[in-house]
C-alpha cells in the first residue's frame, strides 16, 4: 500500500518519522534487493550505510526517484578476522555478480585510518557515529526474519531538514574539521539537492 505523503510549501514531500522511511524502503525493489544480497553475505555487524541511505531519503523528500544508480552502495561490516585482502575479494565478487549496483564494501576494523587522530572503531555503530556529517551517520539492515532496522545515532532531524553539519567526533579536532570542509567542497551535493544548508558547528 502506498504511503500518503504531505507536502510543504515548496511542493516537497514531508516524511515525519522512522516508520515512513522503513515503509518506503520496503516498497523499493532495488533497495530490498540490495539489503537481501548483503544480508546473505553473512558478515558480522553488517549494514547498508552512509550515502546509500541518506541519498535515498533526500531523493524521497525531493520527489526524485528514490533509488539512484549513481550513488555508491556503501556496505560496511566489522570483523577483525576478515583481512583487507579478503574484503577486496568480496567486493569484487559483488561487482561481478551484481554489476547493476556501485558496490563499496568496507571492513570498519581498518577504516579509522582514514580519519585523523581516530582510535580504532569498536563496531560498525561506533564507526557510523564518527562519520564526518550527522546526516551521513545512518545505517540500515534487513534481518533474517525480514524486519528492517534503522540506526541513526544523531536522530533523523538533520536528514529530514536537509541539514549538513559535522558530528561531535569531527568537531572536536581541527584536522578532522579540515577534512570535513575538503569533503564538502568535493561533493557538490547542492547541485542535486538545492535546499541543503551547511554548517561548521
Cell matching residue 57: 531519503
Note the pLDDT of residue 200: 87
For each of the chain's 201 residues, which pLDDT tens digit applies?
333 333 343 344 555 689 999 999 999 999 999 999 999 999 999 999 999 999 999 999 998 999 999 899 999 999 999 999 999 999 999 999 999 999 999 999 999 988 889 999 999 999 999 999 999 999 999 999 999 999 999 999 999 999 999 999 999 999 999 999 999 989 989 999 999 999 988
Note the pLDDT of residue 15: 57
Note the pLDDT of residue 58: 96
Phi and psi at 62, nearest 5°, equal: -95, 5
C-beta of residue 25 within 8 angstroms of C-beta of residue 56: yes
Note the pLDDT of residue 16: 63
Note the pLDDT of residue 201: 87
Note the pLDDT of residue 114: 85
Domain boundaries defined on the chain: 6-198
For residue 4, give every residue at least 6 positions away whose Cβ sits within 8 Å of its Cβ, in sequence order, or none: none
For domain 6-198, the CATH architecture is: 2-Layer Sandwich (3.30)
Amino acid at each position: 500500500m502506498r504511503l500518503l505523503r504531505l507536502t510543504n510549501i515548496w511542493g516537497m514531500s514531508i516524511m515525519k518519522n522512522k516508520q515512513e522511511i522503513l515503509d518506503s524502503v520496503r516498497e523499493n525493489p532495488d533497495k530490498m534487493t540490495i539489503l537481501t544480497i548483503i544480508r546473505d553475505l553473512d558478515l558480522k555487524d553488517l549494514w547498508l550505510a552512509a550515502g546509500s541511505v541518506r541519498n535515498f531519503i533526500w531523493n524521497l523528500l525531493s520527489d526524485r526517484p528514490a533509488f539512484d544508480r549513481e550513488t555508491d552502495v556503501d556496505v560496511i561490516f566489522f570483523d577483525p578476522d576478515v583481512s583487507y585482502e579478503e574484503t577486496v575479494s568480496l567486493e569484487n565478487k559483488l561487482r561481478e555478480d551484481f554489476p547493476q549496483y556501485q558496490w563499496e564494501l568496507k571492513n570498519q576494523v581498518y577504516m579509522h585510518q582514514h580519519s585523523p587522530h581516530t582510535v580504532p572503531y569498536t563496531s560498525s555503530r561506533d564507526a557510523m557515529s564518527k562519520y564526518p556529517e550527522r546526516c551521513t551517520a545512518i545505517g540500515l539492515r534487513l534481518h533474517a526474519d525480514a524486519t528492517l532496522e534503522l540506526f541513526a545515532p544523531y536522530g533523523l532531524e538533520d536528514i529530514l531538514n536537509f541539514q549538513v553539519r559535522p558530528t561531535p567526533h569531527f568537531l572536536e579536532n581541527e584536522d578532522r574539521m579540515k577534512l570535513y570542509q575538503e569533503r564538502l567542497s568535493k561533493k557538490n551535493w547542492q547541485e542535486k539537492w538545492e535546499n541543503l544548508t551547511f554548517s561548521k558547528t
